[in-house]
């Protein structure tokens, strides 16, 4: 991300070339009206805004010439009052649309410092442009300054938080957008080792030999069909004053063909996104470290490439998982839950205060909840913590059940559990959650039930449609800000 100067000020700037002044428009009594603002808009007084294409429709942006070579960016606010979420979205729409301007000035109604900070956060999220993860040079941009006009005081920590979160979301998007011939388990692990040197974290990487020695049978089994072997990357952040411990587990299938249970050609396109969970927990821990939050965090990146070959796992194979349970593989395309089983087992051994796993896990999640809501399952306390953080972040999650009766669908005659129910599409998202639950808990430090939340982002990790709000086309970086929000809640 190119360094952009952020500021909040009550001082009205002078009009000048290369400057865009953002003012919100609403509709009252069938008449377009400008929402409360500070700059002089007398030059707009005699104009028929409707005839110029101005609309109150939310996110609709129209440019109108302003004084001294400046431009008024009139953006639709819809029919409701602007809150943190809508200000964040409008901020992103503006910065994404006005890429050629040097300075953007937001003259929008802000009730408090959170409103102002949310506007800046959204504006930074909207500046995203894909950059190869193998390049150190940031993508060039004309935009040098983003300012919010407000009487509210925003601290330097709030500005820094906006920058850190936007940068981490951007890096998730970069990783997920990377072509799968370039991003595979070992190259992913190499990126982590290199980039993490700038943060107060420690890295442990297990190769295929170490995975076998340590009993990570799920990751090994999924990756054994590829010429590019699997990896488990453990990232640890351990500040001295931490009293809480958060464990994050991410599915990192760098490409998913479905294995022997191979996907149809159309379904295989886009499967480079199947490592979004790992990218998210990786960047989340870096953001938490950059924010210096007083909470211990351990992230597990479960990395494998699911390929069909003479060495690939077969339906009816039985594999051992890290916690000692065995799994009969009935569908090699239900591979994400196998690598997560290992990661959840390892995380449970630490007996953290909370475990969260995140994965592009089931197509059923997209069928059930569409492309804007992520599925949330788990224990009551963990679900509440994630819901609260998601609400503050403006990200959408929906609590789904873990029906006990579904466990019987995973019965196996030769193993402790099967990884799928062949021939049944009923409750596929819930069934995956029920499977994962079997690998949570069992830590040695205490006997209390393990707090755990599962996030299925299969429908939300990638946006195939046009950009909206702070969500670009392609990789979205969804729920990274929510995971950081959970850590912030645990550090209070």
CATH number at residue 300: 3.40.630.10
Same domain as 183, residue 70: no
Give the CATH number of the domain where residue 125 resides: 3.40.220.10
Same domain as 216, residue 86: no
Residue 424 confidence (pLDDT): 86
Residue 256 bridge partners (DSSP): 306
Active site residues: 263, 337
Question: Which of these, 338, 309, 348, 364, lies nearest to 445 by C-alpha position?
Answer: 348
Given 151, 184, 205, which residue is the final one in a domain?
151
Lowest mean pLDDT among 78-82, 108-112, 279-283, 372-376: 78-82
Is the separation of the CB atoms in 415 and 328 below 8 Å? Answer: yes
Beta-strand runs (E) in 176-295: 202-206, 231-237, 245-256
Structure tokens at 448: 């209390």
Residue 23 has pLDDT above 90, yes or no: yes
Given 151, 176, 194, which residue is the final one in a domain?
151
d(CA 246, CA 373): 23
Residue 97 has pLDDT above 80, yes or no: yes
Task: For residue 340, tell me if it sits in a domain.
Answer: yes
Given 126, 151, 176, which residue is the final one in a domain?
151
pLDDT digits (tens, 9 = 90+) for 235-286: 999 999 999 999 999 999 999 999 999 999 999 999 999 999 999 999 999 9
Mean pLDDT along residues 405-410: 97
* Domain span including residue 140: 5-151
Burial of 51 (0-12, 13-18, 19+ CB in 10 A): exposed
Burial of 354 (0-12, 13-18, 19+ CB in 10 A): buried
């Amino acid at each position: 991300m190119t360094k952009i100067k952020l500021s909040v000020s009550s001082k009205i700037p002078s009009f000048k070339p290369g400057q865009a002044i953002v003012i919100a428009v609403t509709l009252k009594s069938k008449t377009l009206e400008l929402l409360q603002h500070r700059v002089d808009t007398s030059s707009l007084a005699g104009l028929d805004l409707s005839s110029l294409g101005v609309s109150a429709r939310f996110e609709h942006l129209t440019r109108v010439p302003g004084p001294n070579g400046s431009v008024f960016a009139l953006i639709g606010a819809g029919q409701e009052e602007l809150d943190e979420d809508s200000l964040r979205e409008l901020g992103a729409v503006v910065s994404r649309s006005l890429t050629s301007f040097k300075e953007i000035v937001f003259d929008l109604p802000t009730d408090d410092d959170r409103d102002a900070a949310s506007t800046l956060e959204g504006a930074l999220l909207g500046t995203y442009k894909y950059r190869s993860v193998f390049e150190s040079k940031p993508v060039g941009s004309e935009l040098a300054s983003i300012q919010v006009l407000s009487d509210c005081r925003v601290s330097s920590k709030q500005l820094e938080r906006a920058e850190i979160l936007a940068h981490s979301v951007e890096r998730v998007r970069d990783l997920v957008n990377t072509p799968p011939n370039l991003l595979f388990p070992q190259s992913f692990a190499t990126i982590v080792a290199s980039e993490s040197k700038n943060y107060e974290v420690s890295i442990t990487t297990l190769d295929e030999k170490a995975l076998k020695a340590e009993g990570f049978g799920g990751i090994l089994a999924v990756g054994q069909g590829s010429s590019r072997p699997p990896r488990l990357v453990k990232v640890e952040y351990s500040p001295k004053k931490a009293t809480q411990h958060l464990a994050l587990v991410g599915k990192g299938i760098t490409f998913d063909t479905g294995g022997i249970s191979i996907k149809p050609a159309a379904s295989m396109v886009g499967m480079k996104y199947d490592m979004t969970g790992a990218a998210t927990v990786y960047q989340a821990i870096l953001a938490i470290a950059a924010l210096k939050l007083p909470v211990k965090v351990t992230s597990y990146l479960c990395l494998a490439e699911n390929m069909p070959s003479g060495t690939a796992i077969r339906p009816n194979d039985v594999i051992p998982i890290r916690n000692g349970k065995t799994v009969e593989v009935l569908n090699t395309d239900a591979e994400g839950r196998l690598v997560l089983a290992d990661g959840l087992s390892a995380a449970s051994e630490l007996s953290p205060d909370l475990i969260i796993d995140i994965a592009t896990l089931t197509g059923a999640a997209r069928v059930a909840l569409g492309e804007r809501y992520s599925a949330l399952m788990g224990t009551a306390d963990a679900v509440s913590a994630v819901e609260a953080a998601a609400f503050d972040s403006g990200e959408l999650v929906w609590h789904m059940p873990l029906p006990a009766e579904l466990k019987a669908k995973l019965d196996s005659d030769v193993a402790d559990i099967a990884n799928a129910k062949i021939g049944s599409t009923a409750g596929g998202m819930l069934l995956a959650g029920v499977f994962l639950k079997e690998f949570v808990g069992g830590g040695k430090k205490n006997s209390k039930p393990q707090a755990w939340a599962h996030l299925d982002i299969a429908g939300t990790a990638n946006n195939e449609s046009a950009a909206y709000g702070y969500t670009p086309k392609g990789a979205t970086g969804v729920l990274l800000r929510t995971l950081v929000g959970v850590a912030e809640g645990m550090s209070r």
